[in-house]
Amino acid sequence: MLIFNKKSDLSAFLSPLIQQNKSIGFVPTMGALHKGHLSLLEKSLSENEITVMSIFVNPTQFNNSEDLDKYPRTLERDIQIMQEVSNTIIVYAPEVEDIYEGKTVSQSFDYDGLENQMEGKHRPGHFDGVGTIVKRLFEIVQPNKAYFGEKDFQQLQIVKKLVEKNNIPVAVIGCPIHREDSGLAMSSRNERLSETARKNAAIIYQILNSAKEIFATNSAEATVKWVENEFQKHPDFQLEYFEIADETTLLPVNTKEADKKYRGFIAIFIENIRLIDNISLN
Ligand code: AMP
């Protein structure tokens, strides 16, 4: 397995392959790999001649410095895990300097309003940071296809918009949410939960599934109220938001329309750790 720390070395390796029209699949991650990441990796390996995975904890997308400091960094273990999947993976694991060259700041992006909803509202600057790193990584790797998880559904829609508005020739592929046996969406942040909290966090997906049933015969407003009420019964959880939104515009639903696709989105704290999840409601 080849591991690059410098974009110049990675580009030098990739450019003859790009010239030979080899298909390149790309999986950007922040590391602390779990099976959710590996499902993206396996999809890329099955659809492309070359797969590049990046591991980079991107400082500009963190609006909370404690969250950035405490983000798990487990590069050696990550490399071992990737090696078990395939020794043909090309890894790009740069330092901040290699990406930001002394100016660790975000570019500003207009995503036609997608950035003003949910995560954008609660994490100011987050999607500028995401756009900055994704655009830069796309320029370095020049993939044909890039794989993103529906776990971060708003991010997936934002990246599709970034590519469309900037005419970037990359096909953005969304991949389903991978869950622990309990139903909890896999996340690098789950590693920071105590054993009890991790067990209790299974309730998030249970409540999302019940919300789906309730939404089938009730309004969005009534469903949101029900979810809020459920979490009030569990004081170890602090609900930041539960919203029902149109999958394409990410705007909150007022009146249900038959031809639209809806999703429930949640952000919630447990033991001061912020978890997100979502569920298709159609
Ligand atoms: P992260 O390392 O958390 O930035 O995630 C890197 C990529 O993996 C993103 O596209 C995420 O949406 C995706 N991802 C993270 N967790 C999961 C999961 N449980 N299921 C599917 N994809 C995931």
CA-proximal residue: ligand 1, atom 14 (nearest): 149
What pLDDT score was predicted for residue 177? 98
The predicted model gives 220-247 an average pLDDT of: 98
Mean pLDDT of 91-112: 98
Look at strands 90-92 and 145-149 and give their pairing: unpaired
pLDDT tier at 196, thresholds 50, 70, 90: very high
Mean pLDDT on 79-83: 98
Percent of the chain having pLDDT more than 70?
100
Q: In a 10 Å sphere around its CB, with 0-12 CB exposed, 13-18 middle and 19+ buried, how is residue 259 labelled?
A: exposed
Query: DSSP for 55-87?
Result: E---GGG-S-HHHHHHS---HHHHHHHHHHH-T
| Residue list, ligand 1 pocket, CB within 6 Å | 29-30, 36-37, 39-40, 148-149, 151-152, 175, 177-178, 185-188
The pLDDT value recorded for residue 155 is 98
pLDDT in tens, 132-184: 999 999 999 999 999 999 999 999 999 999 999 999 999 999 999 999 999 99
pLDDT of residue 103: 96
Confidence of residue 4 (pLDDT cuts 50, 70, 90): very high
- Across 188-206, average pLDDT: 97
What is the predicted pLDDT for the residue at 50? 98
Q: Which pLDDT does position 41 carry in this prediction? A: 98
pLDDT at 160: 98
Would you state the pLDDT for residue 107?
A: 97
Average pLDDT of the segment spanning 98-106? 97
What's the DSSP call for residue 2? E
Closest ligand 1 atom to residue 33 Cα is: 2
Of 132, 138, 142, the closest CA to residue 14 belongs to 142
Whole-angstrom CA distances from 281 to 91, 115, 197 are 36, 22, 26
Going from the N-terminus, what domains does the chain have, and what CATH number goes with each?
2-175 (3.40.50.620), 188-280 (3.30.1300.10)
pLDDT of residue 222: 98
